[in-house]
Amino acid sequence: MTLDMLLARAGLLAATLALAAGCGKSGDAGKAELPPPIVTVAPPAERTVTRYELATGRAEPLEQVEIRARVSGYLMDVAFEPGTEVKRDALLCEIDPEPYKADLARAKASRATAEADLATAEADLIRAKSREATTKISYDREETALKKGVGAEATRDVAKGMYDEAVATGRASAAKIKQSDAKIEEAKANVRNAELNLGYCTVRAPIAGKVGDKLVTPGNLVTGGIGSTTLLTTVVADEKMDVAFDADENTLQRIQQAVRDGKIKAPAAGEIPAEAGVAVHGTTYPLKGLINFSDNRVDPKTGTIRMKARFDNPRPDKGQRLLAAGMYARVRVPIGEPVKAMLVPDSAFGSDQGIRHLYVVGADNKAVRMDAATGALEGDLRVVESVVVPGEGKPRPLAPGDRVIVSGIQRVRPGMVVDPKPATK
């Protein structure tokens, strides 16, 4: 290779290196540092709140009755509209009464016969007693004459036989009276049973409440008596409702301690004020009632105890009553008087392995993570009992001057510099 060619190659290599160096400097100059993430901050809200113990449960009626046929026969009529409210003793169904009317007539006839037999037995007894008295006189006279030696033994014996026969006839008549009395009582029982069966042909509501669906239509044969009787419908009392819920041991102990300390004002012995709400109420608890039942033992398998709170369930001008049997409901028990507390939006919390935390903007606009002990939800705000920096210091309450990050926590890490913007009201 000639000298000229070597020099040409060296120049090309130098130009390539210079170009590469120039490109590297241009890239470093164009690389910009990312700005701090923008977050929204707000001070905690200071409000007066009441502390509560919370639970969930199901609405239970105070009374519920299965309406079953008590006599067998053909169903003639169903007089109720399914899903409507009925008053106590309202007509629900009618079963063909004709066979039971015939039974009642036979029972009354049997009673009349027994009463006639009693009258006959009583008359027989009167005649027997009269004959007994007459024959007794004759027998005594013959016995006296025989002792004086002026009478005959055979005549005395005939008189004695007639007297003994009259006594036996009187005893038989008395026995017939007892038998007739027993038959009358039996006849009366048969009449009463026939009257009951005839009355059972008319099925009425034993309680006031909401009636269920028609389970049997007219024309079908229904079975009564004892055992596998035909279910016609159900009635559920709905003027008041119990909400049954399970409270754990700690909750039970806190409620009991609050009662002992006088923090819970019980209207009467064994009653504790309670509030309830259903799904349509969102996070509010508009229903006011009383806990009036606590079971007599804690279930050792679950560590919970069954409790019930009773609430009025009035009928509105339009539509159905609010609570229905089996409906899900939330229950809370106010503990003590209202106190001041610090609250932040519930959306401001993060969660790490079950530990709830929030971020506060500290010095130099650095984000500080704080683990939070939280309380009840008040609308969109959550009560903050205390906060603590993980591994540092002791828990403290939130201060009015704390700048809590309420939006943008997904982009924040502990110690990160942020660009805080105040939240708009």
- 178-199 residue pLDDT tens: 998 999 999 999 999 999 999 9
25, part of any domain: no
Instruction: Quote the mean pLDDT of the chain.
Output: 87
CB atoms within 10 A of CB 1: 6
**Residue range 31-64, pLDDT digits in tens:** 567 888 999 999 999 998 888 888 999 999 999 9
Check if the beta carbon of residue 76 is closer than 8 Å to that of residue 100.
Answer: no
**Residue range 288-320, pLDDT digits in tens:** 999 999 999 999 999 999 999 999 999 999 888
Check if the beta carbon of residue 418 is closer than 8 Å to that of residue 365.
Answer: yes
Distances from the Cα of 322 to the Cα of 313, 317, 421, angstroms = 6, 12, 45
The Cα–Cα gap between 52 and 253 comes to: 14
Q: What is the pLDDT of residue 6?
A: 42
CATH number at residue 389: 2.40.420.20
For 111: left if phi > 0, alpha if psi spans -120 to 50, otherwise beta; the answer is alpha
Q: What is the pLDDT of residue 17?
A: 47
The Cα–Cα gap between 410 and 283 comes to: 26
- The verdict on 112 and 191 lying in the same domain is yes
CATH number at residue 327: 2.40.30.170
Q: What is the dihedral of CA 81, 84, 87, 91, to 10 degrees?
A: 10
Burial class, 63, CB count within 10 angstroms (exposed 0-12 / middle 13-18 / buried 19+)? middle
Q: Please choose, from the candidates 297, 325, 295, the residue with its C-alpha nearest in 3D space to the C-alpha of residue 311.
A: 325
Which residue among 338, 359, 389 closes a domain? 338
- The verdict on 154 and 302 lying in the same domain is no
- The verdict on 79 and 214 lying in the same domain is yes
- The verdict on 175 and 190 lying in the same domain is yes
Question: Which residue pairs from 74-79 have beta carbons closer than 8 angstroms and sit at least 24 positions apart in sequence?
Answer: 74/219, 74/220, 74/221, 74/222, 75/216, 75/217, 75/218, 75/219, 75/220, 75/221, 75/222, 75/232, 76/218, 77/218, 78/214, 78/216, 78/217, 78/218, 78/232
- The verdict on 242 and 256 lying in the same domain is yes
**Residue range 313-363, pLDDT digits in tens:** 999 998 889 999 999 999 999 888 888 899 999 989 998 888 999 999 988
313, part of any domain: yes
Check if the beta carbon of residue 59 is closer than 8 Å to that of residue 242.
Answer: yes
- The verdict on 103 and 196 lying in the same domain is yes
Give the mean pLDDT of 129-140. Answer: 84
14, part of any domain: no
The b-or-e profile of 30-43 (16+ CB within 10 A means b, else e) is eeeeeeebebbbbb
Check if the beta carbon of residue 343 is closer than 8 Å to that of residue 44.
Answer: yes
Q: What is the pLDDT of residue 9?
A: 54
39, part of any domain: no
- The verdict on 241 and 334 lying in the same domain is yes
Tokens of 115: 């009463």
Check if the beta carbon of residue 275 is closer than 8 Å to that of residue 332.
Answer: yes
CATH number at residue 214: 2.40.50.100
278, part of any domain: yes
141, part of any domain: yes
State the residue for tokens 């036989």.
Answer: 161
- The verdict on 288 and 379 lying in the same domain is no
Q: What is the pLDDT of residue 83?
A: 92
Which residue among 321, 338, 355 closes a domain? 338
Alpha helices, H only, 230-289 = 249-260
Amino acid at 312: D
Which residue among 200, 223, 245 closes a domain? 200
Higher per-residue confidence, 86 vs 375: 86
108, part of any domain: yes
The Cα–Cα gap between 225 and 217 comes to: 20
- The verdict on 307 and 291 lying in the same domain is yes
**Residue range 266-282, pLDDT digits in tens:** 777 778 999 999 999 98
Amino acid at 226: I
Amino acid at 341: A
Local structure of residue 364 (DSSP, 8 states): G
Domain that holds residue 245: 51-61+237-338
pLDDT > 70: what percent of the chain? Answer: 92
156, part of any domain: yes
Residue 237 has pLDDT above 90, yes or no: yes
- The verdict on 119 and 183 lying in the same domain is yes
Global pTM reads 0.67
When divided into structural domains, the chain yields a total of 4
The b-or-e profile of 289-299 (16+ CB within 10 A means b, else e) is bbbbeeeeebe
- The verdict on 223 and 92 lying in the same domain is yes
- The verdict on 113 and 182 lying in the same domain is yes
Q: Please choose, from the candidates 241, 233, 230, the residue with its C-alpha nearest in 3D space to the C-alpha of residue 90.
A: 233
Distance of CA 31 to the CA centre of its chain: 68
